[in-house]
Amino acid sequence: MPSYSAPVKDLQFVLHDLLHLSATPVPGYEEMDRETTEAILDEAGKLAVGILQPLNAVGDEEGCTLENGVVRTPEGFKEAYAALREGGWLSLDADPDYGGQGMPYVMETAAGELFASANISMAIYKGLTHGAVSALRAHGSEDQKATYLPKMIEGTWSGTMNLTEPHCGTDLGLIRTKAEPNADGSYAITGQKIWISGGEQDLTENIVHLVLAKLPDAPDGVKGISLFVVPKFLVKDDGSLGDRNAVSCGGLEKKMGIHGNATCVMNYDGATGWLVGEPHKGMRAMFTMMNEARLAVAVQGLALGEVAYQNAVGFAQDRLQGRAVTGSAAPDKPADPIIVHPDVRRNLLDQKSFLEGARAFSLWGATLIDAAHRTGDDEAEAMISLLIPVLKGFLTDKGFETTVLAQQTLGGSGFTREWGIEQFVRDARIAMIYEGTNGIQSLDLVGRKLGLNGGKTVMAFFEMVKTFIKENEGDEDLKRDFLDPLKSASKDLQAAAMYFMAEGTKNPNNALAGSYDFMHLFGYVAMGLMWARMAGAATSALANGASDTDFYEAKLATGRYYMARHMPATALHLARIETGAEPVMTLDAGQF
């Protein structure tokens, strides 16, 4: 059975040594000093380790069941969800006007990593409700907000997002679910939605479905999609639950992983719903919550990598096989622990150096969201919009790879269910697919985000890298080990962007064929910037006489590993990008 311990120290390092949370002029941040965030994260960690993690394998083994329309979540999930609710973890960053605690989103993100590491299936129930709350809060009427938000934030009701239909996922313009007006201003919703996480479950008293559907007069395509709120139980004027609505779970998907999360086929048979926001503007409402939802999925990639890594390290420190080639490390034992072997260390450092960089990247992203939401900082809003596809695509691709590497550390044990690592691999796989496949993320990056504000946002990113390098190149060690590789990688990224500009205008496929490589190239540069900043922070801490030299020196060594052994990948991605459309477009569809 795998174990887990909350990486509070690493989170604290990022929040304070790197992001200087309480010194940042964002409302609410001033209260987030070291002691406060440590107390919050310690509590989240206790719940994650003590209650959620022990149910993780149970959830995988047992899965969810559907009987007579009722979905039963695995043994213990109901109680664990209640513990999340009672601990206030469902309302952490929610609007105080509706009963939330109003904390910064960065704290929701930090705590979210712990919950996702401990039990991803449970974390998804929580995450979907968070997204539905955000969408309703931004686009719902005052009446809708008063009706739904307090109960959802309190956690007695949950929320879902209903987008996909059997014939369309990515291309939502094709949806067929209909919304026909009733005399009383409500709508009758009819259609089938699939892959609805938590569409039905036994954790909450009511489920508030947000559903994309088409009005009778809707224009074709994505410009004709409207958003509706469709509660499982209709809500009476006094707020109590009324009749069962005509929405039901028609089946549960059997999946590779996240078995503890109910993935439902949802049938809407003239269910009563109410329009959220304006007619035909449903996609806009989706976009509102998209940055947060995609960042949360990025963190899932990191989170599953982290728990897999922890168990790989434990195995490598315990398992005795072979001898260190430079002389035994444990001559009194029949063999040395395998962590002495260079290739085992290479494997573990690939994991560790990614995870620590990814943690910084995702929490930085969360502070940009806070800045955008809490101070109306348009540049922060633009920057996070640019970075979101990189965060989602890169962190989930590499997070999955990390679980695979961790599994490899365990050899044959990694393939057995008993050791539990293989579950992390299966669970991590979905993060590359949902909330927009990573291919779609790369199109979003190259097709929309690169040109954001006439290219000013991506220029601001390059400027940020340049400025950091300039301000810090006086430190020779930092320059050689961190800034020089970062500069070189950033040049590759700029060259790729230039290539797209020059060649993409001639033929858009010249850009689109390289979109996936560009997303990864961007990921490395962002990770390199994070590592350079963390190295600067660790160097300062050591210079200032920090007592925990071991921690800061390990941070520097891990960063040097990433810069030396991973950053050179940017040249490869650039080389691929510069081959353009031809290699990709030559074959006819029938020649594959």
Residues numbered 182 to 201 that lie near its own copies (CB under 8 A) are 194-195
Residue 576 makes contact with its own copies by CB under 8 A: yes
Write down the least CB distance from residue 481 to its own copies, Å.
Answer: 10
Q: In this structure, is the dihedral angle defined by the CA atoms of residues 437, 439, 445 and 451, taken in order, positive or negative?
A: negative
456-472 helix and 378-409 helix, angle to the nearest 10 degrees: 70
How far apart (Å, rounded) are the C-alpha atoms in residues 51 and 399? 24
How far apart (Å, rounded) are the C-alpha atoms in residues 305 and 258? 15
Which of 414, 523, 528, 536 contacts its own copies by CB under 8 A? 414
- CA-CA-CA-CA dihedral for 93, 96, 97, 99, to nearest 10: 90
Contacts (CB under 8 A) with its own copies, residues 9-68:
none
Which of 340, 478, 493, 530 contacts its own copies by CB under 8 A? 340
Q: Distances from the Cα of 287 to the Cαs of 108, 196, 284, 432, in angstroms?
A: 20, 18, 5, 19
Three-state secondary structure call for residue 488: helix
Lookup result for tokens 């029949």:
334
Residue 422 makes contact with its own copies by CB under 8 A: yes
Which of 85, 178, 255, 284 contacts its own copies by CB under 8 A? 255
Residue 572 makes contact with its own copies by CB under 8 A: yes
Question: Nearer Cβ to its own copies, position 261 or 272?
Answer: 261
CB 297 within 8 A of CB 101: no
Q: Distances from the Cα of 518 to the Cαs of 68, 275, 570, in angstroms?
A: 48, 39, 9
Residue 550 makes contact with its own copies by CB under 8 A: yes
Residue 335 makes contact with its own copies by CB under 8 A: yes
Residue 548 makes contact with its own copies by CB under 8 A: no
Chain centroid, CA 96 distance in Å? 25
**Hey, which residues are catalytic here?**
435
How far apart (Å, rounded) are the C-alpha atoms in residues 192 and 265? 7
Which of 13, 89, 434, 461 contacts its own copies by CB under 8 A? 434
Write down the least CB distance from residue 257 to its own copies, Å.
Answer: 8
- Strand pairing category for 233-235 and 226-231: unpaired
Residue 575 makes contact with its own copies by CB under 8 A: yes
In the shown chain, the binding pattern of residues 479 to 508 toward its own copies, with x for contact by CB under 8 A and - for none, equals ----------------------------xx
Residue 402 makes contact with its own copies by CB under 8 A: no
How far apart (Å, rounded) are the C-alpha atoms in residues 209 and 207? 6
Contacts (CB under 8 A) with its own copies, residues 152-181:
164, 167-171, 174
How far apart (Å, rounded) are the C-alpha atoms in residues 104 and 568? 36
Residue 76 makes contact with its own copies by CB under 8 A: no
Which of 378, 418, 463, 471 contacts its own copies by CB under 8 A? 418
Chain centroid, CA 536 distance in Å? 26
Write down the least CB distance from residue 9 to its own copies, Å.
Answer: 13
CA-nearest of 12, 33, 13, 35 to 22 is 33
Q: Element (H or E) spanning 45, and its range?
A: helix 34-47
CA-nearest of 588, 542, 294 to 434 is 294
Residue 472 makes contact with its own copies by CB under 8 A: no
- Strand pairing category for 206-213 and 157-162: parallel
Which of 19, 71, 106, 404 contacts its own copies by CB under 8 A? 404
Q: What letter would DSSP give residue 207?
A: E
Chain centroid, CA 387 distance in Å? 12
Write down the least CB distance from residue 352 to its own copies, Å.
Answer: 6
Three-state secondary structure call for residue 178: strand
Residue 546 makes contact with its own copies by CB under 8 A: no
Question: Nearer Cβ to its own copies, position 372 or 527?
Answer: 527
Write down the least CB distance from residue 588 to its own copies, Å.
Answer: 8
Which of 408, 453, 472, 494 contacts its own copies by CB under 8 A? 408
Question: Nearer Cβ to its own copies, position 8 or 433?
Answer: 433
Which of 27, 239, 411, 455 contacts its own copies by CB under 8 A? 411
Write down the least CB distance from residue 525 to its own copies, Å.
Answer: 15
Write down the least CB distance from residue 466 to its own copies, Å.
Answer: 23
Phi, then psi, of 127 in degrees rounded to 5? -65, -40
Three-state secondary structure call for residue 524: helix
Q: Which stretch binds its own copies (CB under 8 A): 149-157, 253-261, 365-373, 457-465?
A: 253-261
Contacts (CB under 8 A) with its own copies, residues 311-330:
313, 316-317, 320-322, 325-326, 329
Residue 345 makes contact with its own copies by CB under 8 A: yes
How far apart (Å, rounded) are the C-alpha atoms in residues 254 and 319? 35
Question: Nearer Cβ to its own copies, position 341 or 491?
Answer: 341
Question: Nearer Cβ to its own copies, position 108 or 427?
Answer: 427
Q: Which stretch binds its own copies (CB under 8 A): 24-32, 64-72, 241-249, 565-573?
A: 565-573
Count of residues near its own copies by CB under 8 A: 94
